[in-house]
A and B are shown apart, each in its own frame.
Chain A
Amino acid sequence: MEASTPTAPPAVALGEGLGATLRRLANKYGLLVVLLALPVYYGIKDLTGPEHDLSRLANNLFSGLSNGSILALIAVGYTLVYGIIELINFAHGDVFMIGSFTASQFWSSVLGIGLATSTFGVVGGILVSLVVAMLVCGVLNVMIERVAYRPLRSAPKLAPLITAVGMSFVLQNVGLLWLGGSPAGVDDLIHAQQQVFKVAGIAVQRADLLAFAVTIPLVLLMVAFISTTRLGKAMRATAQDPDAARLMGINVDTTISATFLIGGMLAGAAGLIYALYQTTIWFFQGFQNGLLAFTAAVMGGIGNIKGAVLGGLIIGCIQQISDNRIGPEWTAAVVFAYLILIMVFRPQGLLGEETREAG
């Protein structure tokens, strides 16, 4: 969805002061320095500490990557929608939550898969549930757009954002009624914590493999879809200029619906992985992970798909390091502090162009 216009490097004026050079450096590398601060600090601490090796940090980063791939799938949904209608789809995190609920309820209630089911049955059941969760979430997301955002396209920009927040609360309550107010356990179908192999001190668990096995093909498929198919091109055109796209004969409404469908499907897939990965689900997970994923999308540069994936992986690592070292109760504050720092110092994100809003 990136509207990449090549920008010439800014001409350096002769006799440019030291201050300006510093500012340029800070603008270019400041965010990188901030991002590297946590792992480098703990790396040095581990090396000088009693352990004298980096295996703990490496484990943190690895589980950060697998955790982050779930966030990346959600973040792509945020970034797709933002790219095309410049709206923060606040309800997206809750669509992800509905995905978790749908998948876990589908395989336990409809397919009857439990801990006693054979491996073949579990794999097949998960695949069927994946399709169901993706379809349900995709359609749900399209319906949300139809009901809550489309009527407000010509309204002031705050209006659809407020309905998005409203939809988020409605979906949270659906989840609350569905499975109750406290976290519900999910059968550990894939024995998520079981170690498969160990490389260089990094323990690779089944959950990590599942996360990568679902995320990587889906992201590749989606990128291929957007860059090659007719509908994908229409989406990019609409993102650049809805007016001109309409003049060129693109059905803007259909294109926007398709964008919501794809975003919702990815959120549904993320929901399924999350349910198997964490083995507990509850109605509030969408709010928490939605905000993390949104931070990821902003970090990568909102509107930019590669950026969203990269941001998801980075936020996953930050989250894991913070969970493991500082304490899980502080993670939200750490991630949001990063969000604010990005907004202040590099609102266009790591890979993004300067957008109208944030520039």
Chain B
Amino acid sequence: MAVATDKAAQGRFGIRRPALPPWFSPAAAAVCVLVAAVLPLFFQQASGFIDDSTLALAYTVMALGLNVVVGFAGLLDLGYLAFFAIGALCTGWFSSGFYGNANVHVGVSKFQQSLPGIHLNWLLVVVIAMLFCALAGVIIGMPTLRLRGDYIAIVTLAFGEIIRVFVTNGDELKIGSNPLTAGRAGISPIDGISFTGGQPFNQLDLRPWYWTALGMVLIVLFCNIRLRDSRLGRAWIAIREDEVAAASMGVPLVKTKLLSYATGAAFGGAAGAFLGAYLNTVNADQFAFSFSIFILAMIILGGLGSIWGVVVGAVVLSFINYRLIPDTLNGLPGTFGLDFELAQLSFGIFGFLLVIMMVLRPQGLLPERRREMELEEHIGADEQFVQVQA
């Protein structure tokens, strides 16, 4: 055991980590936040860069939410798009003119009060979205409780697909005379965000959107760190490492697992509610299985369970997806005389990235120390093959 820990401290490739002074990490974090906060002031109000950055921040919230389920508790969730869909739908239902014969206005601007439909203040919508998603997370988690490993992945995937089918064909489903969703046509426009009931944010000035997203990231980061170090977070990690051992040490499996689904889902719902308002539309084509994989790839790239790694992974992949591939490198195959655009390949690239990362550096770019040790000692692996290999 002592040998193994010593090996882990050296890292996978025998590289000794440099010893950093204790004030280094908080100081680095503070500098990062400060830079992120003033960054949009150097760009034009509606520039593409702020647009990409806002999306990156929203995806960071998503990835941090998925990290609770996959990274902390070790439950592979392939249906995360369900929570994006539900969160975004909540903004569609509760802050647009979609239900035109209803007339509900809470905490919105004068102009919006004159519009038909349900218009709630965005803060209320976020709370509703988080509640809905937490509930959906528990419902999705319920059938997986008795299952382990890859079966969980399949059941969550199936749930994600069911939600997608319902969103796509929701225009056929009527509650009274109102359709459930607008299907592929989409619910649009959706009210901009306004915290105080004043003039809502609009698409001409993206900075308030950016700062809202940054604020969400900071809140979710704080929650994530506190959760990880809490009793609950330690119970999640115990389940990830060895479910049977955790149960015998008194960790209540059902409650702990359901809480991880609910927490992860609630973060996803908050990000979904933001994206619904920011993208100004909720249509079925936004919700595809590839979205779940996109978010999963962020976590894998950064390092499963490593909070800072996930942030880095999310920002890097979002920028690759929204800036590098469509803008910078899109013509690359053309310059080699190939007849396609790189944007067509984006999800193949992410798939390739998943394979490469898993084979060459399964602990991710910024691994969590504990996770690295698990990989070193084959914790959670198939015992039969471990013995064969060793």
A159, B154: Cβ atoms closer than 8 Å: no
B359, A163: Cβ atoms closer than 8 Å: yes
Given A168-B351, A169-B351, A343-B155, the answer on whether A161 and B150 have CB atoms closer than 8 Å is: yes
Q: Which of B161, B290, B293, B359 has the most CB of A within 10 A?
A: B359
- A359 closest partner in B (C-beta): B146
Interface check A16, CB cutoff 8 A: no
Interface check A242, CB cutoff 8 A: yes
Which chain A residues border B162 with CB–CB below 8 Å?
332-333, 336-337
Binary interface encoding of chain B residues 136-174 relative to chain A, with 1 for a CB under 8 A from any of its CBs, else 0? 000000011011111101110111011001101100000
Given A168-B351, A332-B165, the answer on whether A242 and B344 have CB atoms closer than 8 Å is: no
Interface check B382, CB cutoff 8 A: yes
B150, A243: Cβ atoms closer than 8 Å: no
Which chain A residues border B350 with CB–CB below 8 Å?
166, 169
The answer for the CA separation of A168 and B165 in the assembled complex, in Å, is 21
B151, A252: Cβ atoms closer than 8 Å: no
Partner of B358, one of A86, A159, A168, A357: A159
The answer for the CA separation of A298 and B354 in the assembled complex, in Å, is 26
- A87 closest partner in B (C-beta): B150
Interface check A142, CB cutoff 8 A: no
Binary interface encoding of chain A residues 148-179 relative to chain B, with 1 for a CB under 8 A from any of its CBs, else 0? 10011111111111110111111011101100
The answer for the CA separation of A332 and B284 in the assembled complex, in Å, is 15
Q: Which of A158, A163, A241, A243 has the most CB of B within 10 A?
A: A158
Binary interface encoding of chain A residues 284-315 relative to chain B, with 1 for a CB under 8 A from any of its CBs, else 0? 00010001001100100000000000000000
Interface check A344, CB cutoff 8 A: yes
The answer for the CA separation of A131 and B165 in the assembled complex, in Å, is 37
B359, A357: Cβ atoms closer than 8 Å: no
A154, B385: Cβ atoms closer than 8 Å: yes
- A157 closest partner in B (C-beta): B149
Interface check B132, CB cutoff 8 A: no
The answer for the CA separation of A304 and B242 in the assembled complex, in Å, is 28
Interface check A3, CB cutoff 8 A: no
Given A88-B150, A243-B388, the answer on whether A329 and B165 have CB atoms closer than 8 Å is: yes
Interface check A235, CB cutoff 8 A: no
B344, A181: Cβ atoms closer than 8 Å: yes
Do most interface residues of chain B lie in helix, strand or loop, or is the interface mixed?
helix
Which chain B residues border A151 with CB–CB below 8 Å?
359
- The count of chain A contact residues (Cβ–Cβ below 8 Å) is 55
Partner of A176, one of B78, B300, B344: B344
**Distance to closest chain B CB from A95 (angstroms):** 14
Q: Which of B289, B290, B351, B352 has the most CB of A within 10 A?
A: B351
Q: Which of A151, A327, A336 has the most CB of B within 10 A?
A: A336
Partner of A330, one of B169, B344, B354, B380: B169
A242, B385: Cβ atoms closer than 8 Å: yes
Partner of A153, one of B154, B293, B296, B389: B389
Partner of A252, one of B155, B165, B344, B388: B388
B355, A170: Cβ atoms closer than 8 Å: yes
Interface check A224, CB cutoff 8 A: no
B389, A170: Cβ atoms closer than 8 Å: no
Binary interface encoding of chain A residues 239-258 relative to chain B, with 1 for a CB under 8 A from any of its CBs, else 0? 00111001000001000000
Partner of B345, one of A160, A163, A177, A347: A177
Partner of A163, one of B150, B161, B358, B382: B358
Which chain B residues border A152 with CB–CB below 8 Å?
358-359, 362
Partner of B375, one of A155, A160, A333, A344: A155
B381, A154: Cβ atoms closer than 8 Å: yes
Interface check B227, CB cutoff 8 A: no
A347, B151: Cβ atoms closer than 8 Å: yes
Partner of A177, one of B159, B344, B355: B344
Partner of B148, one of A148, A336, A357: A357
Which chain A residues border B222 with CB–CB below 8 Å?
none
Which chain A residues border B386 with CB–CB below 8 Å?
154
The answer for the CA separation of A262 and B310 in the assembled complex, in Å, is 39
Which chain B residues border A327 with CB–CB below 8 Å?
169
Given A173-B351, A298-B154, A344-B143, the answer on whether A332 and B384 have CB atoms closer than 8 Å is: no
Interface check B226, CB cutoff 8 A: no
Which chain B residues border A174 with CB–CB below 8 Å?
348
Given A163-B359, A246-B388, A340-B158, the answer on whether A86 and B78 have CB atoms closer than 8 Å is: no
Interface check B335, CB cutoff 8 A: no
Interface check A209, CB cutoff 8 A: no
A347, B290: Cβ atoms closer than 8 Å: no
B348, A153: Cβ atoms closer than 8 Å: no
**Distance to closest chain A CB from B118 (angstroms):** 27
Partner of A156, one of B146, B166, B169, B380: B380
A154, B147: Cβ atoms closer than 8 Å: no
Given A167-B355, A357-B147, the answer on whether A155 and B381 have CB atoms closer than 8 Å is: yes
**Distance to closest chain B CB from A91 (angstroms):** 9
Interface check A147, CB cutoff 8 A: yes
Given A156-B381, A163-B359, the answer on whether A358 and B300 have CB atoms closer than 8 Å is: no
Q: Which of A86, A165, A298, A336 has the most CB of B within 10 A?
A: A165
Interface check A130, CB cutoff 8 A: no
B354, A162: Cβ atoms closer than 8 Å: yes
Partner of B161, one of A157, A159, A168, A291: A291
B154, A165: Cβ atoms closer than 8 Å: no
- A181 closest partner in B (C-beta): B344
Interface check A339, CB cutoff 8 A: yes
- B78 closest partner in A (C-beta): A165
The answer for the CA separation of A287 and B98 in the assembled complex, in Å, is 33
A173, B388: Cβ atoms closer than 8 Å: no
A157, B355: Cβ atoms closer than 8 Å: no
The answer for the CA separation of A161 and B148 in the assembled complex, in Å, is 13
Interface check B43, CB cutoff 8 A: no
Give me 6 A-to-B residue pairs in the complex whose CB atoms sit less than 8 angstroms apart, sorted by A's number: A87-B150, A158-B149, A162-B354, A291-B157, A340-B158, A343-B155
Chain A residues close to B by CB (< 8 Å) = 85-88, 147-148, 151-163, 165-170, 172-174, 176-177, 181, 241-243, 246, 252, 287, 291, 294-295, 298, 327, 329-330, 332-333, 336-337, 339-340, 343-344, 347, 357-358
